[in-house]
Amino acid sequence: AQKVTQAQTEISVVEKEDVTLDCVYETRDTTYYLFWYKQPPSGELVFLIRRNSFDEQNEISGRYSWNFQKSTSSFNFTITASQVVDSAVYFCAPSNNAGNMLTFGGGTRLMVKP
């Protein structure tokens, strides 16, 4: 079974600051997938990214970037030039090797102040 730790329960930044959300996971699977989701105050879960465990290339999508380090079992998420609309709870979620079961972390609540 997967286990995931998001050690930062709450982060507060001022708009335009960069912020990194940490995620460390444990798994016995050799192949797995890693996901990040955003849950704004409205409550829905918004899919941000899915990565394969065998692809360690970092990824950038606009102001979002992800750093995957298989050697340290970490999949960290950075928001550059944060905006108030980024305020939400962010969940890291590794999957099993079949990719059909996500284990969610406890989430990091990000508050971006104007």
Which tokens is 17 given?
């600051």
28, 29, 39, 45, 71 from 48: Cα distances, Å:
24, 23, 10, 9, 23
In the complex with another protein, the residue whose CB is nearer, 60 or 98, is 98
Size of the site for another protein (CB under 8 A): 22
In the complex with another protein, the residue whose CB is nearer, 35 or 82, is 35
Binding mask 28-67 for another protein (x = CB under 8 A): -------x-x-----xxxxx-xx-----------------
Pairing of strands 59-61, 46-52: unpaired
Kind and range of the H or E run holding 96: none
Which backbone phi and psi does 85 adopt, to 5 degrees? -70, -10
Task: Give min distance, CB of 48 to another protein, in A.
Answer: 9
In the complex with another protein, the residue whose CB is nearer, 41 or 114, is 41
Binding mask 90-109 for another protein (x = CB under 8 A): -x-x--x-xxxxxxxxxx--
In the complex with another protein, the residue whose CB is nearer, 25 or 82, is 25
Buried residues in 38-55 as b, exposed as e (16+ CB within 10 A): bbeeeeeeeebbebebee
Applying CB under 8 A, the residues found at the interface with another protein are 35, 37, 43-47, 49-50, 91, 93, 96, 98-107
